[in-house]
Structure 1
Amino acid sequence: MRKYTPKYTRPGTGRLRKSTEKLSLLTARLKDLFSFRRKKIQTVAVARQQKWQIGHFSKKGGLVILACIAVLACGVYFRQVLQKSDIFRLSTLSVQGNQQVKKAKILDLGGIEQGVNLLAFDTKRSEDAISKHPWIESVEIERSWPSALTIRVHEYRPLAMINIDQENDRGLYYVDRKGRVFAKVEKGHELDFPVITGVDSIEKVTGTVIAGTGLAAEAFRFIRLASRGNPIIPLQTISEVNVSPGKGIIVYLVDRPFPIYMGFDGMQTKYYQLVKLLDRLYRKKKLQEIREIRMDYFKNRILVAKVES
């Protein structure tokens, strides 16, 4: 069915439509204008609020900084006052653990004296200074407020001595249980230790650890085995352990004049083989007949040479 279209329209209908469109366009423009003004007003308000907040926080931050400066100044002032006060002056002093190094020497090295103010005292610097003594392995300094100080010293414990024969350093040096060469043997020091001989040169004597590799390490390994307290070859029976580039390790006992050739390696196995051999010779009372013992003759073979009669 065809749609009906009126042939004529009412007069004035097109004008009304145009007026309506103009009114709508004007309304839209007014809305845009008011919306823009509203956004502008909001932007200005936000900017003012941010400016106020920045100023507020700036004032608050300034006050905080001033307060911190005032507290710091007060702290410095009171610290200076306390440093001059007698409350924190050292009156009780204890030194523990020292046997070789005298108390007066430790205090002198650490710059410690009665009456020093503990607030101004630098414990780390004092510990470093005391630790430079060759006999001192480590040191701890503890403050007990308000006026006491405790110094705990850990000294090296010698296990053997080593004879150094080189131009710059000649003489006997102590070796601790870790194989570290730490101090030269001075007059009046204890000498009842085995001596490692035949070491011609060490790049740096004190501080060198010989318990690594090489003949000196094998010699020290033999001494360590003897230090375990075996009754047949205790540490006290060893007089000298010689290091020979051509013959290896040669051991001399205190009460026996004959040499014991241990070879170049395998010290642990050879040490216990030697213990069994000497035990048997002790019980048979044949040690006086021995000229030398060779633990390096053949593998798992021992050569015992007797004195010719």
Structure 2
Amino acid sequence: MVVRGRKNRRRIDQTAVRAAAVGFAARAARFLGVLLALGALAVGAAWGTRHLRAWLFTSPTFAIEQFAFEGIEHAEEAELIRLGGIRPGDNIFEADLALAERAMAAHPWVEQATIDRVYPRKLKVQIVEHQPAALTDLGGLYYVNPSGKAFKRLVPGESADLPILRGVGREEYSAAPEDGEALFKEALDAMALYREAGLEPRAEVSEIGIDKLEGLTFFLGDDAVAVKLGQGELEKKFTRLGQLFDELSRRGARAEVIRLDNRTRPGWVAVQLAEAAQRRGQ
């Protein structure tokens, strides 16, 4: 009876082994099937990506047809397109926008250029131009922007109706452009404060003299009235200048030279009247 029990257990063990083997084979087959499917997908994806890329970079669907410019006032679109090196018909994906932006920014009027793709066939070009705030003589008249940069030489036909900054020569500016720009910016910032004080309608600034030691001198109006500002406390000085304008107007007098640069007594104002200058000249 003991032997019969052992025979039953051996028959059960063999059945379990065969079932386990069959299960393992089935799982292995499924795993292999998944691997083959993934491999097929990878091959298909690679093939599809390669052909998709080829289509994107060669299809006429993505040939550039239009440049949409914004922000242009002085520069010309055709010249900027030429500088950018991107031509109508070029593929929109292959266009090197960063290179084109740098090239367009080399135009004398352009401070910054930004280009964006508008699919499928357009490039949007945003231009920020230099804004001329004054002129300066650097061996010829140059436009100066509010940051003090002399960015373009004046050519016939361009407006010269701007204040002129004097005191920084061509050699000095070429040797140290940053120093020259800082001096120009100081003068332009002073002119901005003059406008904020409401003085420009009464006497426009026609010229600004720049002196590293003595400071700034404004020349006002057609008579070129000299206003020696010196250095510092410009808001207070312009307040006193406005009061002086009122007094001169009340008296019907004209100034030749106005001095607001007394370092010992900063609150003092000295005025040389035009009539006195004329009498001395007789």
Match of 1:91 among 52, 65, 74: 65
**TM score, norm. by length of structure 2:** 0.73
**264 and 229 in structure 1: CA distance in 2 versus 1, 3 angstrom threshold:** closer
CA distance in 2, matches of 1:284, 1:67: 95
Note the 1:33-182 alignment, pairs <5 A: 67-68=41-42, 70-164=44-138, 170-182=139-151
Do structure 1's residue 250 and structure 2's residue 223 form an aligned pair?
no
Structure 1 partner of 2:157? 188
Matched position secondary structure for 1:75: helix
Structure 2 partner of 1:16? none
**292 and 171 in structure 1: CA distance in 2 versus 1, 3 angstrom threshold:** same
Structure 1 partner of 2:247? 280
Match of 1:300 among 263, 267, 275: 267
Gap regions ≥5 residues in structure 2: 1-23
Shift of 1:75: 1.8
Shift of 1:71: 2.3
CA distance in 1, matches of 2:270, 2:247: 14
Residue deviations 1:55-110 (CA, integer Å, cap 9, x gap):
x79x9779857754652343232322333222111223311111111011111111
CA distance in 2, matches of 1:110, 1:208: 31
Q: Is the 8 A contact 1:260 1:292 kept in 2?
A: yes
Matched position secondary structure for 1:301: coil
Matched positions, count? 245
CA distance in 2, matches of 1:209, 1:67: 65
Do structure 1's residue 228 and structure 2's residue 199 form an aligned pair?
no
Matched position secondary structure for 2:167: strand
The CA RMSD over aligned residues, in Å, is: 3.1
Structure number with larger C-alpha Rg: 1
Residue deviations 1:222-274 (CA, integer Å, cap 9, x gap):
212134372x3259811111113454322111322332211133222212221
Q: Is the 8 A contact 1:88 1:118 kept in 2?
A: yes
Structure 1 partner of 2:6? none
CA distance in 2, matches of 1:162, 1:131: 22
Shift of 1:125: 2.0
Match of 2:235 among 244, 260, 268: 268
Do structure 1's residue 239 and structure 2's residue 210 form an aligned pair?
no
Residue deviations 1:104-128 (CA, integer Å, cap 9, x gap):
1111111232222212222222112
Do structure 1's residue 291 and structure 2's residue 259 form an aligned pair?
no
Matched position secondary structure for 2:63: coil
Matched position secondary structure for 2:125: strand
Specify the code of the residue in structure 2 equivalent to 1:176. Answer: N
Percent sequence identity over matched residues?
25
**TM score, norm. by length of structure 1:** 0.68
Matched position secondary structure for 2:160: coil
**303 and 85 in structure 1: CA distance in 2 versus 1, 3 angstrom threshold:** same
CA distance in 2, matches of 1:271, 1:136: 34
Which structure has more helix as a fraction of its residues? 2
CA distance in 2, matches of 1:81, 1:249: 64
